Chains A and B, each alone.
Chain A
Amino acid sequence: GQSLEQPSEVTAVEGAIVQINCTYQTSGFYGLSWYQQHDGGAPTFLSYNALDGLEETGRFSSFLSRSDSYGYLLLQELQMKDSASYFCAVRASGGYNKLIFGAGTRLAVHP
């Protein structure tokens, strides 16, 4: 089967750093994506890792270790507007670019 695991909730304060982990088990693997979804909104793309290592985009970074079937999203200098749900998603091989989503991590940023 195919599955992704990520924490259901994370809490942090403004200005802090938070890491959201994602472990996956899939039959074949092309890459790991991260999406952000605010309450009542649509998911929006944050990052994509196909190779091992760290990808940085502003305050957000994403890491992948293919050998460990593990990745994480790192959010720095947290702001209140970062309060949202974050989903990891695996692009699995043989799947016509299908994405398999995790259940999501709800991040609450407090003053």
Chain B
Amino acid sequence: DADVTQTPRNRITKTGKRIMLECSQTKGHDRMYWYRQDPGLGLRLIYYSFDVKDINKGEISDGYSVSRQAQAKFSLSLESAIPNQTALYFCATSDRTGREQYFGPGTRLTVT
């Protein structure tokens, strides 16, 4: 089984809808991250969490919110989706050194 899983893998939704992307990990890591990937822009950090009680905004948090339900689960929500949130979303985890991040398979989100 994969160490970092994301659901759904693909999602098409309409403008204005609320969407939740879920991430689970079995690596036992404290730190979890949500990234967005757009062509030609690399990966940009949306939110990160050091533990269940520690959540921080990244570079591009506007329009997004997160919830760390447990050490192993970190969800990303789009409260009211808009077309420019169409992108590939990755969840990642790391241990406390942060030397290496482990990525989930990604969720391809399309907002029409």
Name A's B-contacting residues (CB within 8 A).
8, 31, 33, 41-45, 48, 87, 89, 91, 96-104
Contact = CB atoms under 8 A, between A and B. Distances in A.
Contacts of A33: 99-100
Contact of B104 (A8, A42, A104): A42
Given A42-B90, A101-B43, A31 B99 contact: yes
A103 B101 CA distance: 17
A100 B30 CA distance: 20
Given A96-B50, A97-B94, A98-B48, A43 B105 contact: no
Contacts of A102: 42
Contacts of A104: 40, 42
Contacts of A45: 100-102
B85 to A, nearest CB: 19
Contacts of B43: 43, 87, 89, 99, 101
A103 B99 contact: no
Given A42-B90, A96-B50, A101 B42 contact: yes
Interface string B39-50: 011111100101
